[in-house]
């Protein structure tokens, strides 16, 4: 599909894949494990870092997480 679309030979496409200029699998700049750890931090940590400006006291209720 790409060959016809880009007008490139199989060898040219292989070079682009090897250089990771094209591909079919996402590669994240930050390791997935680190991203998962970041979203598990307490929200108060994000407030202290300045990543969040404020936290509504009833945010859990608003999100339907209260229980």
Domain boundaries, the chain: 1-26, 31-67
Name the residue among 3, 36, 41 with its Cα closest to residue 22. Answer: 3
Question: Radius of gyration over alpha carbons of the chain, in Å?
Answer: 22
Whether the model clears a pTM of 0.75, i.e. scores above it, the answer is: no
Q: What pLDDT does 19 receive?
A: 92
| Distance of alpha carbon 32 from alpha carbon 23, whole angstroms | 18
| Distance of alpha carbon 58 from alpha carbon 66, whole angstroms | 9
Q: Are 57 and 47 in contact (CB under 8 A)?
A: no
Q: What pLDDT does 18 receive?
A: 92
pLDDT by 10s per residue, the chain, length 67: 555 667 888 898 889 989 988 888 888 888 888 888 877 778 788 888 888 888 788 888 888 887 6
């Amino acid at each position: 599909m790409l060959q016809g679309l880009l007008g490139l030979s199989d060898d040219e496409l292989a070079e682009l894949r090897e250089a990771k200029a094209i591909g079919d699998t996402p590669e994240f700049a930050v390791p997935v494990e680190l991203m998962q750890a970041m979203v598990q931090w307490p929200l108060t940590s994000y407030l202290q870092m300045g990543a969040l400006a404020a936290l509504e006291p009833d945010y859990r209720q608003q999100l339907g997480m209260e229980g």
